[in-house]
Amino acid sequence: MSFLRLEHVHKRFGSTIAVQDFNLEVQMGEFVSLLGPSGCGKTTVLRIIAGFEQPTAGTVHLQDQDITHQPPNRRRMGMVFQHYALFPNMTAADNIGFGLRVTGVRREEIRQRVAALLNLVQMPDLGNRYPHQLSGGQQQRVALARALAIQPQVLLLDEPLSALDAQIRVELRGEIRRIQQQLGITTIYVTHDQEEAFSLSDRIVVMNHGCIEQVGTPFEIYNYPATSFVARFVGAVNQLRCEVLDPHRGQLRCGNQLVTMPGPLALQTGAIATIMIRPEALQLGERGGANRLAGQVCAITFRGPLVRVQLHLDNSESLVVDTLNTRQLQLPQIGDQQLISFAPESVWLVNGGG
Amino acid sequence: MAQVTRRPSAWAWVWLVIWAVFSWLPLVATLDFSLRARKGMLSLKAYQNIFADPGFYNSLAFSFQMALLTIVISIFLVVPTAYWVHLRLRRARPLVEFVTLLPFVVPAVVIAFGLIRWYCCPPFAFVSSPLLLVAGYVVLSLPYMYRAADTGLRAIDVCTLTEAAQSLGASNLQTFFLVILPNLRASILSGAFLTFAIVMGEFTLSSLLAWPAFGPYMQYVGVFKAYESAALAIISFALTWLVMLLMLWLVRGWAAARAVTAPR
Ligand SMILES: Nc1ncnc2c1ncn2[C@@H]1O[C@H](COP(=O)(O)OP(=O)(O)O)[C@@H](O)[C@H]1O
Ligand SMILES: [Mg+2]
């Protein structure tokens, strides 16, 4: 039985369709990310779960209870906003205690719980500061503690790190995951940053234009993308147009070169298909894997741990290869002819067919 | 910001002098005039006369009460309305702003006669109640109070703060009184001060509705007693400043109370 369940949720704003037929089941204690480009409807889904928006159609269930029309202040869902949204007239401690205060918890108990939460977010001595006396990262920690104070059934976070510096972002990301696992709290996390989604989530929901493109573990999303959109959104990917030679044995022709992939393919001989390969699945030179392609090196880019080599194939398509940056690495020169190799298993067809 | 210290140019001095003359000369002249109630010497006679007149205290007390009532009512009417407009009726904002500016367009005389005509006879026979006067004052103070609340609301993220409070379980009232209102204190105070100043000096409404307010009293003194009227102008000027200082002190007090609890 799922803990939180969204069924056929639609949302339109006037003529804009923000969310379309959204279905999702979240287990208790699970960390689920909504990932997608800006404007794809992530925030809207989160706000529907929180109760700030009513879906145009569809239902939201929490523990098998229909909460679609329950007002937000009865849902016990902690929310963390992109720009912290701390109450400027209250200290950090009063912010954290606010949810307890409005529900009539005794003063002494509030004080204790607030102290424990300040410890949890590693700010034991800053409870008396006002929001304007705290850095962005500290403010977001307070916001997190405030959302956790009400012991929410679900924790909702809307791009909580996107207003912070890169370094703080990575640090706080780790903290969020640590706290989430420590408390075993069911969490929905909205982000447009695939790295964030990968490093935090048990499962990722990739969205585009208000629709779900794919739901899966980070491993599934990255290695078995269901659509070309997902493949491109969660990492770099090479796309090559090929002609099917033998659908049973998975043989295709790319320009004048042969590419093999796992068969059988649901395509006719002679059909045109687009195949995809991740750059890190390609290797420079004649290495493992049955596939070989030759091309001319046209660019080499250093990206820290990786080096990206770009090649032109003979049919004017281009291909990038990511290779691990090591001291022993022998790089080709620009203009060189270069052979690359890859395994048939690393190749897949766009949208399962094309 | 980098501070550039350099000598003020001659023009700066010229403007300063013009400003000083423009704003202070009438006051100085009034003060001087008010001290010449006795021929050929400076004296406080005009002030003594004013302070000896029970009409002064009565009208001052009456207007003071009306001002306080007006402030309370207009805060209770305007602030929640402005909040609601910010939160739910963003598109109606220009309309609401236009409505709140109407008292600038409609002359007070028109408002007064409107009130009299509408409320003169049953079922709305309120002409003899001071509440009608307060209602008129609330209308007159609308532009100031609304502007002040609006400015305060623009300075905070009303929608997100409201949602944050709601997600933590706060009711609408709790959200308004614990989260929104405390952040509007300074701007509400400035609106209250403007309202106070308007009510204390208001003449048309109170005189047409026949109330012994401070405005008609000043007018009455002005017509019959020249020196006393100058003294009265100085007194009301001083009173205004006193109230302003009081309010500044209140705001400072809040700020200080915050600062005391802030660092450990
Ligand atoms: N209150 C609203 N009124 C009108 N359109 C809205 C509103 N909120 C969101 N939208 C529209 O719905 C779409 C999805 O928005 P949103 O959920 O905020 O996307 P995301 O969070 O993924 O960037 C966008 O096209 C946006 O313009
Ligand atoms: Mg968003």
Residue B132 covered by a domain: yes
**How many angstroms separate the CA of residue A30 from the nearest CA in chain B?**
20
Q: What is the CATH number of the domain that holds B146?
A: 1.10.3720.10
Name the band, by pLDDT with cuts 50, 70 and 90, for residue A174.
very high
Residue whose pair of structure tokens reads 């620009």 in the numeric block: A334
Q: What pLDDT score does B261 carry?
A: 47
Please, are residues A247 and A268 in contact by the beta-carbon 8 Å criterion? yes
**Closest Cα to atom 18 of ligand 1:** A43
- pLDDT value of residue A90: 92
What's residue A237's pLDDT? Answer: 93
DSSP annotation string for B94-115: HHHHHHHHHHHHS-HHHHHHHH
Report whether pLDDT(A352) > 70.
Answer: no
The pLDDT of residue A354 is 39
Does residue B262 have a pLDDT over 60? no
Residue B257 — very low, low, confident or very high, per pLDDT cuts 50/70/90?
Answer: low
Alpha-carbon span A259 to A27, nearest angstrom: 41
In chain B, residues 133-162 whose CB comes closer than 8 Å to chain A = 156-157, 160-161
User: Is A234 close to ligand 1, i.e. is its CB under 6 Å away?
Assistant: no
Higher confidence at residue A82 or residue B41? Answer: A82
Instruction: Report yes or no on B254 lying in a domain.
Output: no
CB A48 within 8 A of CB A238: no
* pLDDT of res. B264: 36
Question: Å from A193 to nearest chain B CA?
Answer: 23
Per-residue confidence (pLDDT) for residue A353, from 0 to 100 = 43
Residues forming beta bridges with residue A341, ordered by sequence position = A283, A292
pLDDT of B57 over the 70 cut: yes
Q: What is the pLDDT of residues A25-51, one digit of tens each?
A: 999 999 999 999 999 999 999 999 999
From A15, A43, A48, mutation site for ligand 1 pocket: most ligand atoms within 8 A of C-beta:
A43
Is B149 inside a domain boundary?
Answer: yes
The C-alpha atoms of residue A115 and residue A138 are separated, in whole angstroms, by 15
pLDDT at A15: 92
Which protein residue has the closest C-alpha to ligand 1 atom 11? A18
Domain presence at residue B62? yes
Q: What percent of chain A has pLDDT over 70?
A: 98
**What are the tens digits of pLDDT across the range A221-230?**
999 999 989 9
Cis check for the bond before B123: say yes or no (omega within 30 of 0).
Answer: yes
Mean per-residue pLDDT of chain A = 92
Using only C-alpha atoms, chain A has a radius of gyration, in whole angstroms, of 25
Lowest mean pLDDT among A274-283, B24-33, B40-49: B40-49
Average pLDDT estimate for B15-28? 88
CB-CB: which of A76, A85, A130 is closest to B160? A85
Supply the pLDDT for residue B263: 40
Q: Which of A192-201, A330-339, B28-37 has the lowest mean pLDDT?
A: B28-37
* Whether pLDDT at A218 is above 70: yes
Q: Is A43 in the pocket of ligand 1 (CB under 6 A)?
A: yes
Q: What percent of chain B has pLDDT over 70?
A: 92
3-state class (DSSP) for residue A80: strand
Q: Which of A102, A118, A128 to mutate to test the interface with B (most CBs of B within 10 A)?
A: A102
Comparing alpha-carbon positions, the chain B residue that sits nearest to A85 is: B161
Residue B22 lies in a domain: no
pLDDT computed for residue A317 by the predictor: 87
Q: Does residue A332's CB lie within 6 angstroms of at least one atom of ligand 1?
A: no
Q: How far apart are CA A161 and CA A158, in angstroms?
A: 9
**Phi/psi zone of residue A29: left (φ > 0), alpha (ψ -120 to 50 degrees), beta?**
left
Q: How many CB atoms lie within 10 A of CB A2?
A: 15
Ligand 1: which atom is nearest the Cα of residue A11? 12
Q: Given a cut of 80, is residue B123 above it in pLDDT?
A: no
User: Which band of pLDDT confidence, cut at 50, 70 and 90, is reported for residue B30?
Assistant: confident
* Contact at CB, B167 and A78, closer than 8 angstroms: yes
Q: Under an 8 A CB cutoff, do A76 and B160 touch?
A: no
Would you state the pLDDT for residue A25? 95
Which pLDDT does position A153 carry in this prediction?
A: 93
Q: Tokens 């022709």 correspond to what residue?
A: A253
Q: Cα A64 to chain center, whole Å?
A: 27
Q: Is A39 in the pocket of ligand 1 (CB under 6 A)?
A: yes
Stretch A194-214: mean pLDDT, rounded? 94
Domain that holds residue B76: 57-213
| Number of domains making up chain B | 1
Identify the band that residue B218 occupies on the pLDDT scale cut at 50, 70 and 90. Answer: confident
Residue B126 is assigned to a structural domain of this protein: yes
| Strand intervals (E) in chain A | 4-13, 16-26, 31-35, 57-62, 65-66, 77-80, 154-158, 186-191, 203-208, 211-216, 238-246, 251-254, 257-260, 272-277, 283-284, 291-303, 306-313, 318-324, 337-342, 348-349
Average pLDDT over residues A274-280: 93
Q: In angstroms, how far is the first alpha carbon of chain A from the final one?
A: 36
Residue to mutate among A49, A52, A73, with most B CBs inside 10 A, is: A73
What value does the mean pLDDT take over residues B181-200? 88
Of A187, A196, A111, the residue nearest A148 (C-alpha) = A187
Higher pLDDT, A145 or A330: A145
- Is 70 exceeded by the pLDDT of residue A170? yes
Q: Is residue B255 assigned to a domain?
A: no
Specify the DSSP element, H or E, that contains B242: helix B226-261
**Cα B158 to Cα B79: distance, rounded to the nearest angstrom:** 13
Q: Do B163 and A78 touch (CB under 8 A)?
A: no
The DSSP output letter for B38 is S
Q: Is the minimum distance from the CB of A228 to ligand 1 under 6 angstroms?
A: no
Whether B167 and A88 lie within 8 Å, measured CB to CB: no
How many other CB atoms are there within 10 angstroms of residue A112's CB atom?
A: 11
Could you say which of B164, B174, B182 has the minimum Cβ distance to residue A85?
A: B164
Asked if residue B68 belongs to a domain, the reply is yes
The pLDDT of residue B233 is above 90? no
**A137-141, A290-294, B47-51, B155-159: range with lowest mean pLDDT:** B47-51
DSSP-assigned letters across all residues of A147-208? HHHT--SEEEEESTTTTS-HHHHHHHHHHHHHHHHHHT-EEEEEES-HHHHHHH-SEEEEEE
